[in-house]
Chains A and B, each alone.
Chain A
């Protein structure tokens, strides 16, 4: 079976109290998830994006058995989250917020060994595993300091190491790079793509659209508890009819038949807007050749995921 994670019609409603003054409060229902369905394939990186409060964390909590959905079902690694939560828990590694979840008075290694043993590893296994992971996530000597001294980046690395301590096939990473500096974030990203090469399946949330686009094979956009679009970033762009811009620099000075503007190097540049960049470009180049023009540089400007995000979220 290709799907390793299947979510079907997940609904989650939170009962909250709206405080009014000191004593009064109104009960209110928040529909955090409203029929969320998607599949994730074995070995892919699947990203969940959406504005704050859209329901990303809620989805991840449900899939990792930390929340029970009011309706719907989900199968993780062949196990039902409701009927077989223990098996699901063994199959997944989870980071929620990287700055939490550790004993601040214990060292990174001690925390890892602790969790490893709770997952059923023997002391030696857990220690060896922890040492390897510390190297893998590049925590180095810091692993032997207490967590209360860690920077956010170190905690993020430790969180990912914690995810991996019982070697689960599936990882849920909720904003793993939030708040990290560009270099630390890049290391985490490298690590994530490294992990998929080892066969892990990863569900990722992030507010960094560029990160989502470079890392993930498919993306789901969630807004107000609904999945509003799903597919590879290319598919999403095409579906939205987002236009590519093609730039061709022409080295001749006199150009007829085409509208041009002045390029960076002082030569005229032909700009065309299209939703089928490949075909348009080939056609244009053949035409230019026929007419005997010399071509300088060629550039295709893709629409960004950010634009996809903005379009989808603002439309609704």
Chain B
């Protein structure tokens, strides 16, 4: 098991090294996306561009957006292993799909780290906001939980979109929508009613705490948050596990990888 995970991580690294173009593409695109998001939202209240509290929250929100988007593309990449006939070989080695995705997840982590650094620099230089991490220990803990959550989440996502002809359209769209549902943008900066709606999303208890531990504005007790996040991770893991079994079972029956 551990051996398999290491094999997958190493493959992830090897691939990452060979995809230098991704790295460059990330470095170029990240600052533009930052502009796009901040301005698309603040067109409604342009004076807030100078509000430190709002800007700090939005910037950490963006960081989580990059995090989520990176994992959506991770799920999307499973299509490629299907097209290249790698999936069958992986099944033959008795390896779980989520372990396979874990390996590529290493790319996502590196991506997000780069994004984070760019966000901090850009906040400082173009929006004149200095970003701090208020609660580093919990920030790391929540980040790791979020990583685990999104590994399973991408697995589920991959399984759901596996039969779609152009999954990139869906991935492109969802990478924008999901962060909003996730509490990436802290709910404190919203009016009460909208904040209320967001609290129903399970993603809120995974993504929200990362931002909260960075900004220092927790919406509830952090130990309670930790417990809830843990439960959600376990729950997602079991769903991912179940769907994967279902997918493989169907594939073995019909000779095609698709849940539907």
Interface residues of A (CB under 8 A from B): 14-15, 58, 61, 64-68, 86, 89-90, 92, 94, 96-97, 100-106, 110, 113-115, 117-123, 126, 146, 162
Contacts and interface: CB of A to CB of B under 8 A. Distances in A.
Interface in B5-25: 6-8, 10-11, 14-15, 18-19
Nearest to A98: B85
A104 B255 contact: no
B191 interface: no
B90 A118 contact: yes
Contacts of B253: 67-68
A97 B56 CA distance: 53
B88 A120 contact: no
Contact of B88 (A92, A96, A103): A96
Given A14-B254, A105-B14, 6 more contacts: A67-B253, A89-B93, A100-B86, A101-B88, A105-B15, A106-B18
Most chain A beta carbons < 10 A, residue from B7, B8, B84, B252: B7
A293 B95 CA distance: 73
Contact of B94 (A15, A86, A103): A86
B92 A103 contact: no
B93 A100 contact: no
A14 B84 contact: no
Contact of A66 (B7, B10, B11, B252): B252
Nearest to A116: B7
B19 A105 contact: yes
Contacts of A89: 91-94
B188 to A, nearest CB: 44
Given A14-B255, A103-B11, A118-B7, A162 B18 contact: no
Contacts, number: 87
Interface string B92-126: 11110000000000000000000000000000000
A118 B88 contact: no
B46 interface: no
A68 B18 CA distance: 37
B89 interface: yes
B85 A118 contact: no
A126 B6 CA distance: 13
Contacts of B19: 105
Contacts of A104: 84
A54 B138 CA distance: 61
B252 A68 contact: yes
Contacts of A100: 84-86
The 3 lowest CB-CB distance pairs between A and B, nearest first, are A100-B85, A117-B7, A118-B93
B11 A114 contact: yes
Nearest to A88: B92
B255 A61 contact: yes
A103 B15 contact: yes
A122 B14 contact: no
B29 interface: no
Contacts of B252: 65-68
A146 B122 CA distance: 38
A120 B2 CA distance: 9
Contacts of B95: 118
Given A14-B255, A117-B7, A119-B93, A102 B15 contact: no
B84 A101 contact: yes
B14 A110 contact: yes
Nearest to B93: A118
Contacts of B128: none
A101 B4 contact: no
Most chain A beta carbons < 10 A, residue from B89, B249, B254: B89
Contacts of B94: 86, 89-90, 118
